[in-house]
Structure 1
Amino acid sequence: MSKLISVVAALALCAVTTMAAAQDRYTKQKVVYHINYNGGEDDRAYIGAMRNIQNHINAVGAENMDIKVVLHGNGLGLLASAMDNDKVQQRVMNLRGQNAQFHVCNNTLVGREISYEDDLFEVFEDDIVPSGVAELSHLQMQGYTYIKP
């Protein structure tokens, strides 16, 4: 029994040390995540992308992150799915609660006749950018690291 306690204590110490090392390793980061694909069966791709974003936040700390998520083309399906899929909706809300901003492409809205007010989960006028690809370039020119999960 004491051997088990020692192992558990060692694992706990290792986890705390790893978290402290991660906080020492990473400084403030500006990141743009690019989503322009279908979510697939059960929105797995969207959930996986948001899991990547959450893992990034966990490693660096929400207070050290400036995260933008640019959605265009089929990527708008993420916020459309959040209207009905509780898993997707909860992850979107959780990321927003950690200051991740979702940017929605106006070209896609117009071209596909999508109403951001009726068809997408909690999208407001301030969330809409003229062009998803132009926004990606704009953010990269401002020093944001580009990631496509």
Structure 2
Amino acid sequence: MKLLATAVLAIGLATSAMAEGMVHKVAVHVDQNDPQVLNMALNNVANLKAYYEGIGDSVEVEVVAYGPGLHMFIEGKSPVADRIVDMAMASDDVKFSACGNTIAGMTKKTGQAPVLLEEASVVPSGVARLVELQEQGYSYVRP
């Protein structure tokens, strides 16, 4: 009888979890300054959100840019700035992370720090951030 009660409870919890929808976590890696790649990364984010929300799930996405990909977040240079602003305004589940190491390198080379879009947050290391996200269960996507 106890085994039957445990099985019924487990099925009830599983059904409840399915009804509420699953939360998916995705890390998107951007390391190229190619408008086509930058747009593809944002297309991936938009498509993930539309798909999962369409089936009753949700998705948390973090776009991590470093190296040449950091141009994605540089004010006045980003070919996708408007899309980033729109995505950030439309959803709290999409984050944009800029590599502090890349910023330091650019600052040293040019003598001034690049001005980032306000939607981007600086992380100490883009590569380390991707590792951390994967350790937290995020799936890894590279456009």
Same fold (TM over 0.5): yes
Residue 83 of structure 1 corresponds to which residue in structure 2?
76
Structure 2 gaps of 5+ residues are 1-18
Point out 4+ residue stretches in structure 1 off by more than 6 angstroms. none
> Which residue number in structure 1 is paired with residue 13 of structure 2?
none
Aligned length: 116
Code of the aligned partner of 2:33: N
1:23-62 to 2 correspondences below 5 Å: 27-39=22-34, 43-61=35-53
RMSD, matched Cα = 2.4
Cα deviations across residues 37-86 of structure 1 (Å, max 9, x unaligned)?
122xxx22211211111011110129711111111101111112x6256x
Equivalent of 2:102 in 108, 120, 135: 108
Q: 1:29 to 1:108 in 2, by over 3 A?
A: same
Structure 2 Cα separation of the partners of residues 55 and 93 of structure 1: 17
Asked if 1:144 corresponds to 2:118, the answer is no
Matched, 1:96 2:91: no
Deviations 1:8-52, CA, capped at 9 Å, x for gaps: xxxxxxxxxxxxxxxx8x73101110001122xxx2221121111
**TM-score normalised over the length of structure 2:** 0.71
- SS of the equivalent of 2:82 reads helix
Is the 2:33–2:71 contact (alpha carbons within 8 Å) kept by the matching residues of 1? yes
Counterpart of 1:120 (choices 116, 123, 134) is 116
Report the alpha carbon displacement of residue 123 of structure 1 after superposing the two structures with TM.
5.0
Amino acid at match of 2:131: S
Secondary structure at 2:98 match in 1: strand
Q: Which amino acid aligns with 1:129?
A: V
- What TM-score, normalized by structure 1, do the two folds share? 0.69
Which SS does the other structure have where 2:28 is aligned? strand
Using the alignment, how far apart are the partners of 1:58 and 1:71 within structure 2? 22
Q: 5+ residue gaps in structure 1?
A: 1-23
The percentage of counterpart residues that share the same residue type is: 30
The residue matched to 1:112 in structure 2 has which SS? helix
